[in-house]
Structure 1
Amino acid sequence: MKAAAVLCEGTPVASNIDVVEWDAIEPQPHEVLVKTEASSLNHLDLWVGIGMPGLNLSYPRISGSDGCGIVEAVGSDVDSGIVGKRVLLNAAVKQHNNQPFVPDDIRMIGEHDNGANAEYFTAPRENVIEVGDVDAITASAFGLTHLTAWRMLMTKANLQRGQTVLITGIGGGVALAALNICNYFDCTTIVTSRHEWKLEKATELGATHCVLDEGEDWSRTVRGLTEKQGAHICVDSIGGPVHHPCIKSLARGGVLVTCGCTAGPAPKTDLARIFWNQLSVMGSTMGDMEEFAGVLELLANGVTPVIDSVYPYTEASDAFARLESGEQFGKIVIDWSSLH
């Protein structure tokens, strides 16, 4: 089969991506074999290419934690009724339902195990869900980012219709997914970015307010937009210097939910404000299959992901280069359909 393989670790990652012939794969007894129609990239793909701290990965390997396709075969323990169905991947293996934290033995398809950036991928039957006639490119761009944002907003922060939500770094996949979810629930949204053009695009997508992040403390601006009350919830995956203004932007009893720290893991914070205003700071990672089913109801109801670009599988290295540039607005998709 064809695969967009990460040949070795190192940067730039795109220069180490090549479409190669890979040995055919077969499903284990509990797995399905999926003929990939589309996969989409996440920052996790870059970390797999750079080399994951604390994780001993071997190369070459196949990344890809978002994939959609048609089930072609099943293992001996799986009901064959799913063969021929279009399914979407939840890459978090052993993420048990209703568990408030990530289990020690969790594995990520596309990180610990080979992923969806290939002509075929395998996954446990319980880690795929049918998506009917939803377009495969759309579905592949919806999966992990919307699941992550859903868990952050609904499970962790207990989002209520009409609340005010601060979303940092608009243009990234999780941030745009959070905006989608907030729009669905008629929330007031305040989004930040270092780029005016991204703020303009966010306005077109329904963001209520936009704040240009020029490296200064923008929390006063956020509080001014909320009649000095602050935001009920902040969704952040940046960390670093963005964390402190996020804390200062929250209303009393507010919740900051983080799923990443692309700008640094050890930020300045404000403990006095946290305890006096009784703020909550919560971590969140991916989501379980119950949460996946919940957020996919939005997809079925017409909520669609923002797609930056679609590349044929033969140009997979260009897709990685686009992600590495940081200039994307939305998801980057690799189209595998020409192989089938």
Structure 2
Amino acid sequence: MKALCFHEHGGPEVIRYCDVPDLQPAPGEVLIQVKACALNHLDIWVRRGWPGLKLPMPHWGGSDVAGIVAGLGPGVTGWSLGSRVVVDPGSNSVEDEFTRRGEHSLSPGYHILGEQVRGGLAEYVVVPAESLMAMPQDMDFPSAAAPLLVTLTAWRMLIHRAKLRVGESVLVVGAGGGVNSMAIQIAKLAGATVYVVAGNEEKAAGARELGADIVLDRSKCDWEREVLKLTDKRGVDVVVDNVGAATIHKSMRAVARGGRIVIVGNTSGPQAEIDIRFIFSKQISLIGSTMGTHQDFREVTSLLWAGKLKPVIHRIMPLKEGRRAFEIMEKGDQFGKIVLEP
């Protein structure tokens, strides 16, 4: 089969569209013919690598998969060949104190499709049967694949970790990324007032279309000062900051006393210098979050299938043009997800 793989860590230049061995499902697993797979920043980080990451090579990413059941491993029931499905990108290989209390993504045994295991940037992928969810017959595969990981991530981040409440205010730092586009929608669905920092007028318009109440163009203002001005110096209850090093100090100024800053990524870099005085003087909570449970996945897909949350797609491209797709994503000019079709 064909896959968009790399044999060593590095930039987009290491990506190859090449032949790899065919897959066979083991007991409890299902073979999926991939019809669409969306890209995430996670795919960039895995391809670049980090200290301690040891992957069998070649490796290929891809966490957001929509496709058709093409094979059933021994012992799998409840699914038929040809079933249209999406895949929960998170799975757990162990039972421990975290899984027993419903905190699966905290467990050392938690794996993300495309990170610790080879993913959906290929013609086929093998996944645990328990990770499957049926998709609507009238939905196209790119629309089903695009929002999966980012909606699951944004849901846990805002609803479970930040414990967002009706009537609160949320500031989303950045408008074009997948998690942020879903965070805007989830915050509005939860009854919050949503502020968004956008990089340009095009992204600002996109944020407004998703329901943002107030959009600030960072090229035209100091957005943290503007937030304080708009809130009579109070600040916002929750800040979503997945940019990291370049913005965390501004987020700490913009958040209200007793507020929460939630972090699920670091697109500008992982190393940040912060003024600790803000943390204790304003009693700020810095909250990390990642992924979610199978139940979270069921809840967010139900909202997606019902149209209460909408996938945001920037572009659909052939899998064989994957290197070009990565180059587009790494420039950061897109609004929404890039989806690849084998």
Give the TM-score, by structure 2 length: 0.91
Identity of aligned residues (%): 38
Over 3 Å counting, the alpha-carbon distance change for 1:195 and 1:237 in structure 2 is: same
Cα distance, 1:21 vs. partner?
2.0
Distance 1:49 1:6 in 2: 7
**Which stretch shifts more, 28-37 or 128-137?**
128-137
Matched, 1:306 2:312: yes
Counterpart for residue 108 of structure 2: 104
1:46 pairs, out of 44, 65, 70, with 44
Aligned residue number for residue 96 of structure 2:
none
Aligned counterpart for 2:240 among listed residues 232, 235, 243: 235
Q: Is the 1:31–1:74 Cα contact (8 Å) retained in structure 2?
A: yes
Instruction: Provide the rounded CA distance (Å) in 2 between the counterparts of 1:52 and 1:314.
Output: 26
* Partner residue in 1 for 2:301: 296
Whether 1:126 aligns to 2:124 is: no
Question: For residue 166 of structure 1, what is the aligned residue in structure 2?
Answer: 171
- Output the CA distance in 2 between the equivalents of 1:74 and 1:101: 26
Q: 1:139 aligns with which of 144, 155, 168?
A: 144
After TM superposition, the structure 1 stretch with the greater mean CA deviation from structure 2, 204-213 or 148-157, is: 204-213
Deviation string 1:305-338 (CA, Å, 9 cap, x unpaired) is 11010002232222122112221111000013xx
Residues 278 and 101 of structure 1: CA distance in aligned 2, closer, same or farther (over 3 Å): farther
**Could you tell me how far apart the structure 2 residues matched to 1:212 and 1:76 are?**
54
**Mean alpha-carbon deviation: is it higher for 79-88 or for 235-244?**
79-88
Paired residue secondary structure (2:116) = coil
Q: Secondary structure at the match of 2:147?
A: helix
Corresponding residue number in structure 1 for 2:3: 3
Equivalent of 1:183, from 188, 211, 223?
188
- 1:88 aligned residue: 86
Q: Give the unaligned 5+ runs of structure 1.
A: none
Residues 245 and 272 in structure 2, CA contact (< 8 A), matched pair in contact too: yes
Q: Work out whether 1:325 is the aligned partner of 2:331.
A: yes
**Post-superposition shift, 1:124?**
0.9
What CA distance in whole angstroms lies between the structure 2 residues aligned with 1:204 and 1:101?
A: 32
Query: What secondary structure sits across from 2:304 in the alignment?
Result: helix
User: Conserved in 2, the CA contact under 8 Å of 1:9 and 1:59?
Assistant: no
Which of 21, 24, 27 aligns to 2:22? It is: 24
Measure how far apart 1:291 and its partner are: 1.0
Closer, same or farther: CA 241–18 of 1 in aligned 2, 3 Å:
closer
* 1:187-336 equivalence runs, <5 A: 187-214=192-219, 218-302=223-307, 303-336=309-342
Instruction: Provide the C-alpha distance between the structure 2 equivalents of 1:240 and 1:293, rounded to a whole number of angstroms.
Output: 33
CA distance in 2, matches of 1:247, 1:87: 41
Instruction: Tell me the matched-pair count.
Output: 334
5+ long unaligned stretches in structure 2 = 94-98
2:235 maps to a residue whose letter is G
Q: How many angstroms does 1:264 deviate by?
A: 2.9
C-alpha RMSD over aligned residues: 2.0
Kept in 2: contact 1:241–1:268 (CA 8 A): no
Given that 2:175 and 2:199 are in contact with CA atoms closer than 8 Å, whether structure 1 keeps it comes out as: no
Whole-Å Cα distance in 1 between the matches of residues 273 and 153 of structure 2?
Answer: 25
AA of the residue aligned to 2:257: R
Q: 1:220: how far off?
A: 2.1
Q: State the secondary structure of the residue aligned to 2:297.
A: helix
TM-score normalised by length of structure 1: 0.91
Moved more, 80-89 or 281-290: 80-89
CA displacement at 1:101 relative to structure 2: 5.5
Deviation at 1:141, TM superposition (A): 0.3
SS in 2 for 1:62: coil
Whole-angstrom CA distance in 2 between matches of 1:139 and 1:247: 35
Secondary structure of 1:197's aligned partner: helix
- 2 CA distance for matches of 1:320 and 1:162? 38
Q: Which amino acid aligns with 1:98?
A: G
Output the amino acid matched with 1:131.
M
Q: Is the 2:181–2:210 contact (alpha carbons within 8 Å) kept by the matching residues of 1?
A: no
Q: Kindly provide the CA deviation profile for residues 156-213 of structure 1, in whole angstroms up to 9, marking residues without a partner as x.
A: 0112233211001110111111012123234211111333321232123321112233
Q: How far apart are residue 56 of structure 1 and its match?
A: 1.8
| Stretch of structure 1 that moved more, 46-55 or 254-263 | 46-55
Q: Which residue of 2 aligns with 1:71?
A: 69
